[in-house]
Amino acid sequence: MDFPLKFGLHKTGLPLIVTSGKLKNLCFLIDTGATNNILFTYVYEHFKDELRVLEEMQKIMGIEGKYKETPVIEATFNFEGNDYTSTFSVFDASETVTQVQEETGVQIHGILSTDFLIRNKWILDFETYNVKCND
């Protein structure tokens, strides 16, 4: 399956996907520079009954460059008819989310990292601006 990123890139300058299923209408930023999947705290609070909290904590580097310990959850979302389950660090990035929303008009709910892309065999095609999902 190929999913075009052109609309999100044109409207916001960001590679975005929108989910369906139980975690419906979540907007994730695809970030090839991120090493961890992130679900923002306000989204976690809203959907916590749909998520599985794992026993572990994880240290991740925040946007300001300092390490923070975060809870780790497992979430399943649907994208283009396929379910994807992955672990996410729950991270408070309220200021950044607000800034992105003010600049683009889009509210981002989390980040899909390189780890997600590799595990799910998603390929970013920078010539066609598509995500190729090898199902």
For 50-67, how does the pLDDT look when each residue is reduced to its tens digit (9 = 90+)? 999 998 899 888 777 888
Return the structure tokens found at 8: 């999100």
* pLDDT above 80 (res 134): no
Grade residue 94 by pLDDT with cuts at 50, 70 and 90.
confident
pLDDT in tens, 67-91: 889 999 999 999 988 999 999 999 9
CATH code for the structural domain at 2-133: 2.40.70.10
The size of the chain, in residues, is 135
Nearest to 99 by CA among 91, 107, 111: 107
Check: CB of residue 106 under 8 Å from CB of residue 15.
no
